Structure 1
Amino acid sequence: MSVIRRLWALDGGRLSEDRNKLVLRQSGPVTVPCPSFLMEHDRGLVLLDTGLAPNAAEDASATYGSLADRLNILLSREQCIDRQIERLGFKTSDVDYVIMSHLHWDHTGGMYLFPQAKFFVMQGELQYAYWPLPGSPPYRREDIDPTRGFDWHEIDAPDFDFFGDGTLRLLHMPGHTPGNASLIVRLGSGNVILACDTAHLQSGLRDDLPMPSDWNTMESVRSMRKLKQIAHVLDASIWIPHDVEDWDRFRNLMAPDICF
């Protein structure tokens, strides 16, 4: 049975937010990681999301404007996606595939660094990034426009077996955005689902509580329930990348297949 040989969790900086912005009917301050994930497969290196823009390590306010102060965006140069990949012994040009869970600004900052890669996103996401509904969480054209000439592939399927061997399965989980996706990763130590923004905190996933500003809150609830059903069937662990407590939980849960 084929497995992903190694998964690296790349901590790409943090921001601060109130829980009521992430989960309906909750409150209180929370630290929010902005990660990416690098995976090693026999057919190449796969990157899930690209985190915050490297320029924010030098001047977050110049990069993100008022968001930088409101969210207390913290990113060091060593946390930038290119530096982290290089520290693992690779170059950004070694990345063969980039999967975008969706195209919000905290996931797209490093896309420009991978012009050689094939990019994958669920159908509808690119269009919505250019014409979002008023009041939706921000898309950042400064991240998306430089990739217009990249090798983009839109996936029109509810469940996409990325390599055809079951090692990576991309799940369409609409709600947060039209093209939001989660990723099932088969490791030697078991299955893990990188939920991405299908849920933002474990407490929201547990109680089926969406993010108030989701594109479609009813679709969000359906996707969260679907996520839990799939995890039950596969005996998979659900990792919510924006949940800071999950970072501590997964450090020991599936070692050594997951490296930090």
Structure 2
Amino acid sequence: MSSNTETIILPAPSPKQPYVRISALEGGHLTLPEKLFITDADPNKRATVPSLCFLIQQPASPKPTNLIFDLGLKRDFTGYRPAQQHHIDQRQPTIVSPDVRESLQKGGLSASEIDTVILSHVHWDHVGTPSDFSNAEFVVGSGTLDLLAHGGGTLYPAELFNPDELPKGRTKELPPVRTSSSSSSAPKASPNQTQHTWTPLSAFPAVVDFYGDGSLYVVDAPGHLFGHVNLLARTGPGKWVYLGGDCCHDPRILRGERGIAMYDDGSGGLRSVHVDTEEAAGTVKRIARLLKQGSVVEEGGGQMEIEVVLAHDREWREKNLDRFWPGTL
């Protein structure tokens, strides 16, 4: 696969290429102080934003599959640990209904019909209520289970995570992407790994062809939190959707209108909302190229459309209510 620095080249469809259907799901809302997320922010401005989740249906034989990407907020905050609840107090107001389970039900689908849940990462506003999905296999990025059990260094202590968050016996990690990390506090990978293999895809250093048929790719998206992943989905001939999770928290960063905010880390230094700001900026730079007209092509040519959606994009939600389940992107 070409890795031309000017053009992102996506793989051409196979002769009998399957496509996925994507529907947005409500995952609750939280309120973010803009000064912690974007540069040149009004220091007093707070924005209530969604925590978007997505239903991805793969209708190809032999068995159609239902996959969910991210689970949003828990509807019952007692499911969070005390330190998590303290953090949530700083993100009020929050909205927890409808959550993902309710959103599915409104479109005629039960949580028990979900085959797979992929979490972009395990911050409190993305883990939702895993117990709703009694028949699903959970898939997380490398190092996530160690992060849940032990935390990830001074700024990400164990108290901010719940070691029992995900169902034991039904949770697997993607394999490590690199043998080393730029962060010395990066957690170790779990032995309970999937059999997937990371490979380069044009400008993206590491992706997993999740179904093995070119319809859905898991993209390593480092920087925000250990194990952070995105999805790249093929939704039709020449049509793609990129689900960016928390690669950044405001679409203006992707458009180059704002930067990633830095603020006092409490120890005399600066930090951002990302575990590794430099890596996060690199991830943003790669994704931003998807927005530039003519910078993305499919092998063999032809018309191309690609849509990028971030987890907390309020404007996208307001403009696309008809694309929530049972509607489609």
User: Normalising to structure 1: TM-score of the pair?
Assistant: 0.85
Match of residue 168, structure 2, among 148, 151, 162? 148
Q: Answer yes or no: is 1:52 the counterpart of 2:73.
A: yes
Match of residue 275, structure 2, among 215, 226, 233? 215
Q: List runs of 5+ in structure 2 lacking aligned partners.
A: 1-16, 177-197, 199-205, 262-271, 298-304
**1:167 equivalent in structure 2:** 215
1:186 match: secondary structure: strand
Determine which structure has the larger helix proportion and give its number: 1
Percent pairwise identity: 24
Match of residue 192, structure 1, among 241, 257, 269? 241
Contact kept, 8 Å, 2:210 with 2:218, in 1: the verdict is yes
> What does the per-residue CA deviation read over 1:128-157, in whole Å, with 9 as the maximum and x for residues that have no partner?
33322222498431762x523323232442
1:85 shift after superposition: 1.6
Q: Quote the RMSD (CA, aligned, Å).
A: 3.0
Query: 2 CA distance for matches of 1:60 and 1:162?
Result: 30
Query: 1 CA distance for matches of 2:85 and 2:229?
Result: 28
> What does the per-residue CA deviation read over 1:15-47, in whole Å, with 9 as the maximum and x for residues that have no partner?
112112222443322222112111111231000
1:250 shift after superposition: 4.0
Change (3 A) 1:155 1:258: farther
What code does the residue aligned with 1:33 have?
A: P
1:241 match: secondary structure: coil
Alignment of 1:201-240 (within 5 A): 201-207=250-256, 209-210=259-260, 212-230=272-290, 232-234=295-297, 235-240=305-310
1:192 shift after superposition: 1.3
Q: Answer yes or no: is 1:18 the counterpart of 2:29.
A: no
The 10-residue stretch of structure 1 (174-183 or 67-76) with the greater mean CA deviation from structure 2: 67-76
- Bigger Cα Rg: 2
What code does the residue aligned with 1:118 have?
A: E
What code does the residue aligned with 1:49 have?
A: D
**1:34 equivalent in structure 2:** 51
Change (3 A) 1:166 1:213: same
> What does the per-residue CA deviation read over 1:70-108, in whole Å, with 9 as the maximum and x for residues that have no partner?
21143344x122222222222211100111111111000
Contact kept, 8 Å, 1:123 with 1:155, in 2: the verdict is yes
Query: 2 CA distance for matches of 1:175 and 1:98?
Result: 22
User: Normalising to structure 2: TM-score of the pair?
Assistant: 0.68
Q: List runs of 5+ in structure 1 lacking aligned partners.
A: none
Query: 2 CA distance for matches of 1:11 and 1:256?
Result: 12
**1:100 equivalent in structure 2:** 119
